[in-house]
Amino acid sequence: MAHIDAYRFKHIEIDGNTYNRDVIIHPAGVIDNWWRQSSHELLPEDLEEYLSDFPPVLIVGTGKFGRMNVPDKTRTWLSGKGVKLEILKTGDACTAYNQSDETETGAALHLTC
């Protein structure tokens, strides 16, 4: 399991590696430079290529100030895939991820607003 060492606006450290763009923490590793079709909205299309072997829990970090929206259609789509969704500001999402069961959890983290 990856471990989040530190997070601050536009910056995250995971297992000693530094990332300055949004990331997905996936069982296969960290996917950096992840970007969404709409910068402040998480759509199903933004996640579908990563979900085929994703754990049953997805923690979404909505940014330092929580400005990234997770619309109902995304919530419904994830639920239909059997994925339990936790939506938190990114700082809180990092804490929740580090406290989670490594075999059960992935994360999609927006690093800015």
Report whether 40 contacts 69 (CB < 8 A): yes
For the chain, the domains span 4-109
Task: Please give the model's pTM, rounded to 2 decimal places.
Answer: 0.94
What are residue 26's DSSP bridge partners? 29
Q: CATH classification of 4-109 is 3.40.1230.10, yes or no? A: yes
The Cα 18–Cα 36 span in angstroms is 20
pLDDT tens string 64-94: 999 999 999 999 999 999 999 999 999 999 9
Distances (CA, A) of 53 to 8, 38, 50: 29, 24, 7
Q: Residue 52 — pLDDT band, cuts 50, 70, 90?
A: confident
Report whether 90 contacts 6 (CB < 8 A): no
